[in-house]
A and B are shown apart, each in its own frame.
Chain A
Amino acid sequence: MSEIANEIVNAELVEEKVLVRVENAVKHFPKRGGLFNRVIAKVHALNDVSFTIKKGQTLGVVGESGCGKSTLGKVVIRLHELTSGKVTFDGVDISTMSNSQLRPIRQRMQMIFQDPNSSLNPRMTVETTIKEVIRLHNVVPESEIDAHVDQLLQKVGLRVDDKTKYPHEFSGGQKQRIGIARALAVNPEFIIADEPVSALDVSIQAQVLNLMMDLKEELGLTLLFVSHDLKVIDHFCDSMLVMYLGNIVEEMPCDDIHANAKHPYTRALLSCNPITDPDQRGELTILEGEVPSPYHPPAGCPFVTRCPLKTTKCETENPPLLDRGNGHRVACWEVE
């Protein structure tokens, strides 16, 4: 009995272990021009972003186009360099590592890309694409590579015979499965999925999402799931981050997002989602105006230009992301 109890305690400890920690991440993209190629403006893609992902957790990132959610994923996996701030993976600061130092860590974190049509090298067969990654990290001995590839393809629901084909011979959903197989080939712990289903048909979306869910359960993966679709996030994730103009405006568990969402932006996003049950339909909040230019974000709260609740304080001071208990953080002066 006590052994079992210990195991449960241990399991809980492992559950609570933080795998990825992002601290005060800032990313600016300089715009150059004029005489001597000076920096004439900056896109503020990420603005002081901090969060953690626990082992085994699936964190969703949601927001409209250009809010920095894809940049966030790329910064975590070091496709983009941070302007300032820090990314820690399993206790190690990876934001200043050199490429060769990063290589062993790359094996533990992989990425699934948005567009299946451009995420596979058109001049390589499926087999070559996957084997190359396996060989780079010596995941399995040379003699077992073929079996490993076959196993991977079966795992993502592809026919083993298809491994000698080129990417253009597959459909979009199949290509995305190949992309998933490539990411899983090195047995990663952490996967960043950058809008993995937004380029697919709705019917295929469900298949791929279910596949990812099964794999997550089976392999105990930790996921950072970037999407612009609240329903997908709700369906797939344990908790979610809502981003607006490079800032996190709300972080909350995905238990009952309709009831719990507090930030006016999150509420507006939720109200745009069609609800099939007429009794559950709330009031529709329509946001006025445009997203401000990321070159010149507002001085105070980033959402101030469109917020229905704004006060004079909002125009001058950026609200901090305050913990409201139960892992729920909101950045708004008007929310209790």
Chain B
Amino acid sequence: MSAIGKMMATREAQKLWRNKSALLAIVVIGIYLLTALFVMAGGITRDTCDSIVGSNKLPGFFQQDSPEKRYENATTKFLSKIKRALTAEDVTAALKEVKLGPYHAADKSPAELETLVAKIDTLAAELDESPNLDIDPSILPKLAELEAAESQLKAPLSPWEQFVHNASVCLGTDSQGRSIFFRGIYSIKIAIQIGLVTALFSVALGAFLGAAAGYFGGWVDHVVVWIYTTFSSIPNLVLLVVLAYAFTNSAAKDTLLPVYIAFGATFWIGTCRVIRGETLKLKEMEYVHAAQTAGFGPIHILLRYIIPNTAHLMLINFSLLLIAAIKSEVILSYLGFGVKNQPSWGIMIRDAGNNGDVVGGFFWEIGFATALMFVLVLAFNILSDALQDAFDPKHV
């Protein structure tokens, strides 16, 4: 870390700080990282993402459903739960059990509730006479009346609950009525987590093997080159799918472990190749000869003379691998081999496609997942480009 700290004070780093788009990218990435930390600290849990917060495919920006759907919502869901509770043997206990999303039954006597239910039924019967609610504007006041009566069945939300509910529906709901906003935000944590773990592991392994292969040469070099040539001759995605399949019956299948292993096995190759090449160059530098004539051992020379001087390449590779890992995670999850049983942008995009949302013009789920991924990948691309400009001027 101290090597990176020193590097940040050099002329190259000054060049990076002067790059306005790079600074913007750093700010954007910072916001994503903070969000991921917030999710990790328990700000948004998996339960929040899986709970149903409203009707299916509710559009975002607090738009209302079509009248037909509003009618259906008001006369089924919560109302039917209340009706069932009112017919139970222990009515008071049954009413306490009633719950839909954040809503509970209002703190009223069963008799009062029955009056309300009767009123709703009457209004519903009147609305039933209209052949199609969607093309008949005259029924809108009556529909509003129906909804008002229905909302009296529900206990009022506290301001905080109201805020959370508003947030959860601000970008609409998916085909199962789950919050698109929360699922998208939770996926940031998944993406950043997979990206960071994969990139850190790959860069560390690649740098170590690459530097060792380049410096020692001989059989060490042969073994390392043989391994990465073998790995890189296998199509990347196929290997990832095979590794993910291998875990389908293990205890780890619902964790991120298969994804880490699949990515870790393939992503170190590029870094290893670059660092090996740089080491071949560096080991002929006179300061390395000087260290050898001074009597330093090979491990000391690797750690103090070779690897610190490849730090710029490691930094660039780190940011490139991070993007690659995030993108691959989305692709794998889309195909159904990646993240399981938790939200991920890939899963959101697949859900949106499978449920006919996109064809039907419901773009909120696919739009939000894609936008979040797009901004993050773009920011990282700009940053790694700027890093390359600043630290590796030979690279075109």
Contact = CB atoms under 8 A, between A and B. Distances in A.
Contacts of A107: 295
Interface string B275-293: 0000000000111011111
A118 B294 contact: no
A219 interface: no
Contact of B286 (A103, A114, A168): A114
Given A111-B289, A121-B309, 20 more contacts: A74-B289, A106-B294, A111-B290, A113-B286, A119-B287, A119-B289, A119-B290, A120-B287, A121-B287, A121-B308, A123-B3, A123-B6, A123-B308, A123-B309, A123-B311, A133-B294, A136-B294, A136-B295, A136-B296, A182-B290
B293 to A, nearest CB: 5
Interface residues of A, number: 30
A79 interface: yes
B248 to A, nearest CB: 44
Given A79-B289, A111-B290, A113-B290, A106 B309 contact: no
B89 to A, nearest CB: 79
B305 interface: yes
Contacts of A102: 295
B293 A77 contact: yes
Interface string A87-106: 00000000000010011001
A122 B311 CA distance: 12
A328 B309 CA distance: 47
A121 B305 contact: yes
A144 to B, nearest CB: 19
B309 A110 contact: no
Contacts of B305: 121
Interface string B1-35: 00100110001000000000000000000000000
B228 to A, nearest CB: 19
A115 interface: yes
Nearest to B296: A136
Interface residues of B, number: 21
B295 A103 contact: yes
14 contacts: A79-B292, A106-B293, A106-B294, A114-B286, A119-B290, A120-B290, A121-B287, A122-B309, A123-B6, A123-B308, A123-B311, A124-B304, A136-B296, A168-B11
B297 interface: yes
Contact of A111 (B6, B285, B293, B296): B293
Contacts of A121: 287, 291, 304-305, 308-309
Contacts of B6: 123
A123 B291 CA distance: 14
A136 B286 CA distance: 19
A226 to B, nearest CB: 13
A324 interface: no
Residue picked from B287, B289, B297, B305, most chain A C-beta under 10 Å: B287
Interface string B258-273: 0000000000000000
A137 interface: yes
Residue picked from A77, A78, A115, A118, most chain B C-beta under 10 Å: A118
Contacts of A113: 286, 289-290
Contacts of B292: 79
A145 to B, nearest CB: 15
Contacts of A74: 289
Contacts of B311: 123
Interface string B72-94: 00000000000000000000000
A87 B293 CA distance: 15
A115 B286 contact: yes
| Nearest 7 A/B pairs, CB to CB | A106-B295, A119-B286, A113-B286, A123-B308, A103-B295, A121-B287, A111-B293
A124 B11 CA distance: 15
Residue picked from A115, A120, A123, most chain B C-beta under 10 Å: A123
Nearest to A186: B294
Contacts of A133: 294
B123 to A, nearest CB: 78
B217 to A, nearest CB: 12
Residue picked from B295, B297, B304, most chain A C-beta under 10 Å: B295
Nearest to B311: A123
Contact of A110 (B286, B287, B293): B293
Contacts of A78: 293
A186 B304 CA distance: 20
B3 to A, nearest CB: 6
Interface string A50-84: 00000000000000000000000010011100000
Contacts of A182: 290, 294
Residue picked from B286, B296, B305, most chain A C-beta under 10 Å: B286
A106 B11 CA distance: 36
A79 B309 contact: no
A221 to B, nearest CB: 16
A172 to B, nearest CB: 13
Nearest to A99: B297
Interface string A182-196: 100010000000000
A106 B296 CA distance: 10
